[in-house]
Chain A
């Protein structure tokens, strides 16, 4: 499967021209993960494997509920479990479904050097088009959330597709469909924000004063959002970045350096050409040869 003949791109990696985008009248979608409702059953993880036909390798026990212990090419979503003791001394079990956040300004896409290997559709979904992927790992460096994983077998990068194949035909993502507590919801981004607002008000009433929505601005917002009871400290949730942003190093590499480098190379090449036209070649003259001969014979040496 290539890219379902998409004509609704809003971004396409390593592409200077406007990609096919006429079918742009599309709702921006979002997945809302209400961490406060999650019971850690991992049904979403199973549903993801089931729908996408993924069977990651069985791992060893790492002393925690996570299994496998990290995202990998065959594990596109992962339940992460953190034990947190709050100010009142209560133990809180903070369970977060980790995976691609589908950033509005995707660092992976910005870093990708292969045209069309990473695309973003008008509905906001960021998708990897594997046939264009060259396996360089630049997306890993671009991602503020440490999500893409390169397969050591086929050297392609993999991550959650937000079930773009399902969403494309009007279905919700597999994880959403399976969640038994309604902790994962899917719809238009506006609806999800409204829904989150109601839920956050409820949580605040229940004493979670810092409850809030995780929709980080520095990446333009995300199409996967969390309702957090401790939105003031996202890092409590197994290292969810407090202020995710595309690294300034990646920004310099993909922004400033590209035009400057090209201009520098062009300047050098044109400079050389102009010098050739203006100054001409530097040729050895007959006088040089004569002087060299005199030098050799004057010293009484044989010509070398």
Chain B
């Protein structure tokens, strides 16, 4: 993959593919999950062929999501560790929301909002997976007591709503902060984008002469 001259690599090709596969699974799970959750959304089951097909496919999509998200976790966890910059950033959330980013303390590769999205999903997806297995009628319908399944289905629904709320914030932030969508679609950002939104990350790349996404990224990307 080559990137336009003078740009910074925000997300490597593998990361981007991994991200969009996860996103596809998430969207399909949301559509089928909402159809199973509330009658006003049941018509969404048609997108999957029929209610029966939707019921059959939903758990398998969940399995795909867990595997795919594990890949994202491996690639992102280190840059999502919470530090003092994040606390300082979070305290200026009002300025962030008002697009006055020059008044907000600089942060590294991810800001506190992105980290909340990341750790929120890290927390919720395993809960969805485990409770989902418990209510996977075809394979595990007889594995646990009905009372256990009642708890599981309630927790599963609540966790799913939590995940969808986080997802709405995630998608909106990507639309709101211009250049983010390109960073995940095509992988690159302009130096100004990095300077404005993730100055410490930008400076660490500048100091090491790395093309991104991390200061120790190999120099082969520099050829672009």
Contact = CB atoms under 8 A, between A and B. Distances in A.
Chains A and B bind each other: yes
A293 B196 CA distance: 12
Contacts of A275: 97, 172, 176
B177 A282 contact: yes
A297 to B, nearest CB: 10
A141 B203 CA distance: 56
Contacts, number: 171
B68 to A, nearest CB: 23
Nearest to A276: B176
B126 interface: no
A301 B206 contact: yes
**Chain B interface residue bracket vs A:** 35 or more
Given A140-B146, A253-B153, A282-B99, A291 B195 contact: yes
B161 A134 contact: no
Q: Which of A141, A155, A250, A296 neighbours the largest number of chain B CB atoms within 10 Å of its CB? A: A141
A295 B202 contact: yes
Contacts of A284: 178-179, 190, 192-193, 196-197
Interface in B11-59: 35-40, 42, 45, 50-52, 54-56
A33 B8 CA distance: 78
Given A137-B141, A281-B176, A289 B39 contact: no
B210 interface: yes
B192 A155 contact: no
Contacts of A268: 165, 168-169
A41 interface: no
Contacts of A281: 99, 176-178
Contacts of A258: 37-38
Interface in B198-218: 202-203, 205-207, 209-212
Interface in B99-130: 99, 101
Interface of B: 6-8, 35-40, 42, 45, 50-52, 54-56, 97-99, 101, 135, 137-138, 141, 146-147, 149-151, 153-154, 157-158, 161, 164-165, 168-169, 172, 175-179, 190-197, 202-203, 205-207, 209-212, 222
16 contacts: A14-B39, A115-B39, A134-B45, A135-B138, A141-B146, A253-B157, A257-B158, A258-B37, A272-B169, A276-B172, A282-B99, A285-B196, A289-B190, A289-B191, A301-B206, A304-B7
Interface of A: 14-16, 113-115, 132, 134-138, 140-141, 146, 150, 152, 155, 247, 249-250, 252-253, 257-258, 261-262, 264-265, 268-269, 272, 275-276, 279-286, 288-293, 295-296, 299, 301-304
